[in-house]
Chains A and B, each alone.
Chain A
C-alpha cells in the first residue's frame, strides 16, 4: 500500500495548495443568513397580504347570493400570496439548514418557527397599513396582478347575483332613490325604499357604499341592505 499521508503532503506542496482564507467562509455564512433573513421578511410580507385579502372580503354575503361557504372560500382564498408564503418559508428552511448549526433542528421546528415569525410580523405590517399600500402599488405597477387576486371590488361587482358597490353621485330622499357609479363606471339607479342601512352610515354624495339586493335591469337595482365601503383603499377596477 502506498504511503498515503506523505503522498497527500507532497501533493499539497507540489500543487501549492493553500487553505482558503477564513473570510471566504465567514462571508459565505453571512450570505446564507442574509438569504434566510430576506426569505423571512418576504414571508412576513406574504402573510400580511393574505391577512389583508382575507379581512377585506365580506364573508357573510355567500348566504345572500345562494353560494355555499365552501364555494365562497374556494373562490376567495388568496392563492397567489399563499403560494408565495409557502415558497418563502421553503426558501427560509433551505437557507437555515445550510447555516452552521441549522441541521440540528427538525424540519417541523424550522418551518413552524419561520411561520410564527411571518405571522407575527405580517400581522404587525397589516395593522400598520403596509399591505394596503403594497396592494395599491401592485395593482398599478405589476401587469396582470389584478387578475391573479380576488378582491372585495370583484366580490361586490356581481349585480346579477345581487351584489353592487360604487360611489353615490345623486340622492333623491323623497323618492327613496340614489344614483350610483359602479367600479366599471356604469350608472345605476338604486331603489332604497325597502332597504336597511348597516353600520353608522349617512348617505351623501361622494360616499362609497356596497349593497345587497336585486338587479331589476342593467341600470336599475333594488337595494335590500346598504353597507359602508371598508377602509380608505382606492377603488381599483379589474381590467379583464
Chain B
C-alpha cells in the first residue's frame, strides 16, 4: 500500500519515524523529505560525483531505517539523519579521497556563503573570483568545510551542528571561526581582499 503524500504532509519528522516503525511505507515520506538536502550535503563535503553520492545516500537511508529504534525523540530527526549522513560520507570519503571527485557548488550557494562569512569587496563578485574562491573552499580540510556548509548553506544553528558532528557547541564555534580565518587568509593570497 503506497501512502499518499497528503497523509505525510501534516506529520512531523518524529511522527513519521514512529509511523515508519509500524508501516515501512511511511518511510518513503521521510526519504522524500531528506533526499535532496542530504544529496547536496554529501556532495559538498566530499566532492563525490553524483553516482557515488546516490550510492551513499541509499546506504544512509538503509542504515537509518535499520537504526530507527535508536532515534531519541528528544532530538530532532533531521539532526540525527544528518549525523548518519556525516558518518557514512566521511568513512567513504576517506576511501575515495583521491578518486574521481567533482565540484558541486551552485553560484547562489557560493554567494550565500561569501556574504554570510566574509564581506568581499564588490569588485570580487565575478566569475573569475568565484572560481578561485571555490577552489579554496574545496581544498579546505573537511572539518572546516562541513561546519561552513552546515551553518551557511543548510542554515543549521550551533546546537544542531553540535548534534550532527558530535562536538561540543564551543568546539563548533571555534571551528567556524577558524574556517573563516583560513578562508580569508587563503583569499588574500589570491589577491581577493575582504572588507
Contact = CB atoms under 8 A, between A and B. Distances in A.
Interface bin, chain A: 20 to 34
B54 interface: yes
Nearest to A102: B166
Contacts, number: 67
Interface string B144-168: 0000000000000000001000111
A147 interface: no
A20 B57 contact: no
Given A5-B32, A25-B69, A103-B162, A11 B27 contact: no
Interface string B164-182: 0011111100000000000
A41 B141 CA distance: 39
A21 interface: yes
Contacts of A6: 28
B116 interface: no
Contacts of B35: 4-5
Contact of A9 (B28, B57, B72): B28
Chain A contact residues, majority secondary structure = helix
A12 B62 contact: yes
A1 B69 CA distance: 31
Interface residues of B, number: 28
Interface string A13-44: 10001111110110000000000000000000
A104 B165 CA distance: 10
Given A4-B54, A19-B21, A105-B168, 15 more contacts: A4-B57, A8-B27, A8-B31, A9-B24, A9-B25, A12-B65, A17-B65, A19-B65, A19-B69, A20-B66, A22-B70, A24-B69, A25-B67, A104-B168, A106-B171
Contacts of A18: 66
A2 interface: yes
The winner among B24, B67, B69 for most chain A CB atoms within 10 A is B69
Contacts of B82: none
Contacts of B67: 19-20, 25
B162 A4 contact: no
A7 interface: yes
B28 A20 contact: no
A240 interface: no
Given A4-B35, A106-B170, A9 B27 contact: yes
A151 B69 CA distance: 54
A186 B31 CA distance: 82
Nearest to A97: B166
A4 B31 contact: yes
Contacts of B28: 5-6, 9
Nearest to A8: B61
A194 interface: no
A8 B166 contact: no
Interface in B33-79: 35, 50, 54, 57-58, 61-62, 65-70, 72
